[in-house]
A and B are shown apart, each in its own frame.
Chain A
């Protein structure tokens, strides 16, 4: 058993020394902490969110998880600019970061994306074979396995049947699970500790090797001495209602920022590090996502079964990936149109509802701006080509459900009624205003993208912030383009690459 310390109960100023300080304990930060602690470095991990022991997730209802484990109760928004929907961009804020609330889906960086990195970004050394040892290390650590067909929910089975009838090739998803019983509550923390998120894999390993993990600890600034990072400072959440109060300082030989794509650029900017490229906080991709709900005459009980178990990349050439998912009945009810008796009647049909999702392999256009207080402001301007894909995603998912026998679908058009097949086909999705489209994202990436030159990127390909010394980034912000698939495995793989580089790199004297 290895302890996590909460700063909530500490008093007075805290000063610590370490070899490496890691800001953020999510997919990127946990890997760095573990790899470096196991290599003998003295590591301190600072996490803004609280600590929830793996065994206790089951003690929380979904709404309790949303308020304690997700950032901002999941009320985090990228404001759409121009012809773009507002996007609900969700993140975790807890020891383990967003890794704790994933559906467990794992993808390697798709071949065509790696080719783009090589061809268009000059990162010719990032080949599948060069990345193989890092993938292998991560896949073993988090136990990536394919979801067996018998664990699919009926919701997914329905969609798969319809999609296959339309000629789409449905494939099984790989997930980081061990002993999963398909109970379907992955997004609220796995109550069976079967999802191998970093809080039950990398972080315990790091702590077992002496890494200290501090929860409720908000980093506000990197301390720079000239161009060299020498630590971080911030405040502990030990004020009234957990507001930041007493200061802390961690002096370290090396600083690794892993605060996620929305927060790492903010930390760099607030520390006065903008780089020659001025790319910090720009180029954010999000994989804009859309859901389709379908009502069947039989009972679906879509919450029973692995939450995400099948996908198709048959439309990848267009920039679309369709992906299984399920959301809790209470959340499903929330997305139903109508009020009063009409809403209650629809909510009463949740056991008959199936759901599937589609994401767009986007060009980017997102930006992280410093906000007025602690939180950033996110904006997103959708590329024309991506915007044109929204009706395509909606039509494809709806048709697949109708091909499977759905009676009615509920589209992500705000206020639109349930539609039977005829109404669906006649609906002018192409003319719907962006602001009337419900859109969500779980994959903000790229705000401190890696690259070959300081003119076009924020960090180099081992995560070093250009024109600084001993300052690194290892999280979703370094991913240089949209992936078109869920990113946690890619992030952990790139973080492993950063870590293995760091463990061989002597500290500056």
Chain B
């Protein structure tokens, strides 16, 4: 049976315009520093424009995902960027060079804080590779996995 012959639920679709909970500046600063290292080439961090986009998305993602997600991300970032450097006999993360940061992340990935890094890496990667240019770099187009994917039902219903 086609959708237009079925009764469907209608109601306000406002989730995309709702205000996200604010995300702490410390969390954002740490996340950006991890992202710079995570997505860097041998010598360079990704362009500031792409990182700005990532940070904006991160604020939206974490701010809409609820208090617990916010807490888990903040704690995971704390573990990675404050405790993580200790595993590499270093102190501090944000001010370190890209290669030092990558070293620290590597130590974390192979140490007792690997679950915390998995959480941080998961959010950052999911967001980063949704940027149209980053997506292209890993093989996009991804058909329906982008916003605004064509929908048969949509065209049918609106015909």
Interface residues of A (CB under 8 A from B): 1-6, 8-9, 50-56, 58-64, 66-68, 71-73, 75-77, 86, 95, 178-179, 181, 183-185, 188, 191-194, 199-200, 203-205, 207-208, 213, 215, 240-242, 301, 303-304, 328-331, 333-335, 337-341, 343-344, 347-348, 350-351, 373-375, 414-415, 435-436, 438
Contacts and interface: CB of A to CB of B under 8 A. Distances in A.
B126 A4 contact: no
A178 B135 CA distance: 30
B130 A62 contact: yes
Given A75-B119, A241-B20, A53 B149 contact: no
Given A75-B119, A184-B144, 10 more contacts: A54-B3, A59-B16, A62-B126, A62-B145, A192-B151, A193-B3, A328-B142, A334-B122, A337-B109, A414-B115
A3 B152 contact: no
B77 to A, nearest CB: 13
A191 B144 contact: yes
B7 A208 contact: yes
A53 B106 CA distance: 43
Contacts of B49: none
A192 B38 CA distance: 35
Contact of A4 (B10, B112, B122): B10
A73 B66 contact: yes
A435 B135 CA distance: 31
Contacts, number: 247
Nearest to A243: B21
Interface of B: 1-3, 6-16, 18-21, 37-42, 57, 60-69, 72-73, 98, 102, 105-106, 109-110, 112, 114-115, 117-119, 121-130, 135, 137-140, 142-154, 157
B139 A351 contact: yes
A282 B112 CA distance: 29
Given A53-B11, A75-B65, A192-B153, A63 B126 contact: yes
Contacts of A6: 11-12, 14
Contacts of B37: 339-340
Contacts of B130: 61-63, 330
Contact of B139 (A72, A340, A350): A350
A60 B16 contact: yes
A200 B3 contact: yes
Contacts of B118: 335, 414, 438
A53 B65 contact: no
Given A51-B13, A63-B57, A343-B38, A184 B139 contact: no
A241 B10 CA distance: 23
Contacts of A435: 112, 114-115
A51 B152 contact: no
B17 to A, nearest CB: 11
Given A72-B66, A207-B7, A339 B106 contact: yes
B9 A328 contact: no
A72 B122 CA distance: 14
